[in-house]
Amino acid sequence: MTALPLALPMLAAAVIPSTPELGQAEGRCRPGERGPSFLVRVDGLKDRKGTLKLEVYPDNNKDFLEDDNILISEGKTFRRVVAPVPTTGTPVMCIRLPDPGTYAVSLLHDRDENRKFGWRTDGIGFAGNPRLGWGKPKAAKASAEAGNGPTSITIVLNYQHGLGVAPLDRAR
């Protein structure tokens, strides 16, 4: 019985504290990136406020959208790129990958820049552009296959409309 209280501080210390910088060094593309990566075209922006946060996860339901510090402490794939929304043009974001393969990908338009999804204000999208319901999509519906070099994909953002979320062209 006394071993459990003694083990709890060691378990807590084993988890990497979550910070907005987790996964960014690994995810940042180099100039002229030639290795495995996604070049993500962002479609359907509501406006030019805030930041875009692109994240890559393992392609399975257990790890998809799991806490970043848990994934990193378990040695699993997690990558993040954060950039301000450009004032003009169609944003294209590059995120570096550890290897070719299939990955689940999420994109947040963090309009209020609070670093978390608020369904009333922010936009959300996923690789594969699945229709969104009340919960997160299955990893297989939100994934893309990356080759040996940069792989282009398009993610369409969804925003609150009525009681759900949808791309702006479907919400109108």
pLDDT, one tens digit per residue, over 115-130 is 888 888 999 999 999 9
Summarize pLDDT for 57-102 with one digit per residue, the tens: 999 999 999 999 999 999 999 999 999 999 999 999 999 999 999 9
Position 154 in a domain: yes
Mean pLDDT of all residues in 146-169: 92
Position 12 in a domain: no
**Does the structure show a pLDDT above 60 at 171?**
no
Domain holding 24, by residue range, is 20-171
Average pLDDT taken over every residue of the chain:
88
Distance (Å, whole) CA 67 – CA 78: 10
Position 15 in a domain: no
pLDDT at 104: 98
The structural domain count of the chain equals 1
**Does the structure show a pLDDT above 80 at 10?**
no
More confident residue, 84 or 161: 84
Position 148 in a domain: yes
Position 5 in a domain: no
Q: Which two tokens stand for residue 145?
A: 């296959």
Mean pLDDT of all residues in 8-29: 64
Contact 107, 159 (CB under 8 A): no
Residues above pLDDT 70, as percent of the chain? 87
- DSSP letters spanning 118-158: -TTT-EEEETT-PPP-SSPPPGGGGEEEE-SSEEEEEEE-B
Residues above pLDDT 90, as percent of the chain? 70
Position 124 in a domain: yes
Position 4 in a domain: no
Distance (Å, whole) CA 6 – CA 8: 6
Distances from the Cα of 5 to the Cαs of 8, 9, 13, 15, 16, in angstroms? Answer: 5, 8, 13, 17, 20
